[in-house]
Each structure stands twice: as C-alpha cells, then as structure tokens.
Amino acid sequence: MRAREVLALSLTLVATVLTFAPFFWILGTIIYKGVSVLAKAGLGFLLNIPPLPGTNDLGGIVTVLEGSLLIVGMATVIAAPLSLLSAIYIVLHEDSLIARLGRTLLDLMVEFPTIVVGISVFLIFGLALGLGLNALVASIALAVIMIPYTTIQAVEAMRIPKSVVYEAAAALGLREGHIAKILLIEGRGGVVTGVLVGMAKIFGETAPLLFTTATSFDIFANSPLSPVSAVPVLIFVYAFSPYTNWHEVAWGASLLLSLIVLSIYLAARVSLGRGGRYA
C-alpha cells in the first residue's frame, strides 16, 4: 500500500472514531452515573414519586414516567394515522404538486426548531383555544414533531414496493384504496419502523415540553386534560437544582430515558429487518 493511501485510510479511520466517540462518551457517563442511582433506589425508582425539596431520599420517577408514556402514546395516536394517510397520498400521487410540496415541507419540518413548535402549540392550543397546560396540548406539540419523521419513513417504506407492485395491482382492476392497502402490507416493516423512530424521537424531546407541561413532578395525570409532566423536563429541572439527591435522580432518569429510547430504536431495526427488503 502506498504512503498516501495509508494516510488517507488513517484519516478516515480517525474521523470515524471521532464521529462516534462523543456518543460513547455520553452513554458511558450516563451508565457510570446512573447505574449506581438505580442500584441504590432499586425498584422504588419506578414506583415512587420524585423527592420533594429538603428531603434526602431518592424517591422515584413514577409520575413523570407515567406522564411521558401518556403524552407519547397520545402523540402517536394523533401522528401515526395522519402520517400514514399523508404518506399514502404522497406515494400514490408522487408527481402531483401537493405531493412534491409535501415532500419538501417534510424535510423542512424535520429541521424546524422544536422549541418554536412548543411555544406555537402553547400559544394556539394552550392560550388562544383555552386548553391550558395539559397532556393533550403536550401531546399535540409532540405529534407535530413526530409527524415528519414517521411520514418520511412511511413514504420510503411504500415507495419501493410501489415500483414493483403498483402495475400488477392496477392490472387486476384494483382501485386506489385497495392498492394503498397492498402498499401498506408490502411496506409494513418500514411503516412500523417509522412509527417507532418517531416515538423514540419524541420520547426524549424537552424543548416543546417546557411550554406545555407542568413542573410539579409529584402529580399523576388522570386524564388527557390533566396537567402532566415528563421525564426530560424532570431531568432538566433537577439537574439545575441545588440538591445533591435531585442530581442523582436526574442521572438515574437519564439512564432510564436512554434505555427506553435505545430499546425503541432496537425494535425499529428489528421491525425493518422483518419487513423484508425489495431489490
């Protein structure tokens, strides 16, 4: 191998290591700091409410975990059908002006600052429509963030099968609705992956929740219209607090949040693999 090739290979290898190093450094720190907290708190970390100021115990994060699960679940219920239906339109009418505009807007929406989404949803739904701060408003903010991720993935999942099966389906005299169902069946692995990727994305979102959730971490959300809080907001508030035990809770919650997000991504990868591939 010539010296220049060795140099080029070394540079690209070093760049690759540098690319992934921050991720492993962050993950390593969270594991190092978080595991001891989870070990100390035990199962109580999942069952107890967060500690109040002036107490020394670790408590748990049950209320914010419930809040996160509720708003992510509701956001998925709002975003998934909208994403799938718009993805079907974009795939079936890919040459139309609306579909082409839609594809461009989706790319823009992915890059859109989530804090702006949060404040806009708060102003429109929380203040103008008078809904206040509750789980529904928080989940609308998260749904707006989730939609482009899920839609883009669903479009890609159905676009490739379309090139293979559309003509065959049309030749059977099937109408568009039935062809869309075939595309969903054929691209189901990628479609499910899209929903999971969207869920993983919003599970860790903090910025929009700063405007739409409460910072009272000891309350359970009883209904979609109840005030709610979430794991990322607890981490944000507790990390900047003066209390040592709150810092520990923030590390434990960070580890748990990371494990949840990584598990969802893993499920997404498995789903994509099971869905099969088109040549």
Partner 1 sequence: MRDSGNSRPAVIEVERLNVWLGRVHVLKDIRGLAIPKNSVFAIMGPSGSGKTTLLKTFNRIIELSKEARVEGRVTLNGEDIFSMDPVVLRRRVGMVFQQPNPFPHMSIYDNIAYALRAHGIVKDKSRLREVVGSVLEQVGLWDEVKYRLNSPAGKLSGGQQQRLVIARALALRPEVLLMDEPTSMVDVVNATRIERLIIELSKDITIVLVTHNPQQARRVANYVAFLYNGRLIEWGPTEEVFTSPSHRLTEMYVVGKI
Q: How far apart are CA 256 and CA 66, in angstroms?
A: 13
Choose, by CB under 8 A, the member of 74, 75, 154, 182 that binds partner 1: 182
CB of 27 to partner 1, least distance (A): 35
Among 118, 194, 208, 275, contact with partner 1 (rule: CB under 8 A): 275
CB 74 within 8 A of CB 224: yes
When asked if residue 5 is in the footprint of partner 1 (CB under 8 A), the reply is no
Q: Measured from the CB atom, is 89 or 166 closer to partner 1? A: 166
Q: In this chain, which of 89, 166, 236, 243 binds partner 1, going by CB under 8 A?
A: 166
Of 135, 138, 158, 165, the one binding partner 1 by CB under 8 A = 165
Nearest in space to 114 (alpha carbons), one of 201, 175, 218: 201
Using the contact rule CB under 8 A, the part of the chain among 46-54, 227-235, 243-251, 270-278 near partner 1 is 270-278
198 lies in the binding site for partner 1 (CB under 8 A):
no
**Element holding 169 (H helix, E strand):** helix 135-171
- Per CB under 8 A, the list member of 185, 225, 262, 266 interacting with partner 1 is 185
Query: And the tokens for 183?
Result: 């595309």
**Interface residues for partner 1 in 75-104 (CB under 8 A)?**
95
Q: Which position among 168, 225, 262, 266 is part of the footprint of partner 1 (CB under 8 A)? A: 168
232, 204 contact by CB (below 8 A): yes
Instruction: Yes or no: say if 45 and 38 are a contact pair by the CB < 8 Å rule.
Output: yes
Concatenating the DSSP letter of every residue in 184-251 gives: HHHTHHHHHHHHHHHHHHHHT--HHHHHHS-S-TT----STTS----HHHHHHHHHTSS-HHHHHHHH
Q: Using CB under 8 A, list all residues that contact partner 1.
A: 95, 164-175, 178, 182, 185-186, 188, 275-276, 278
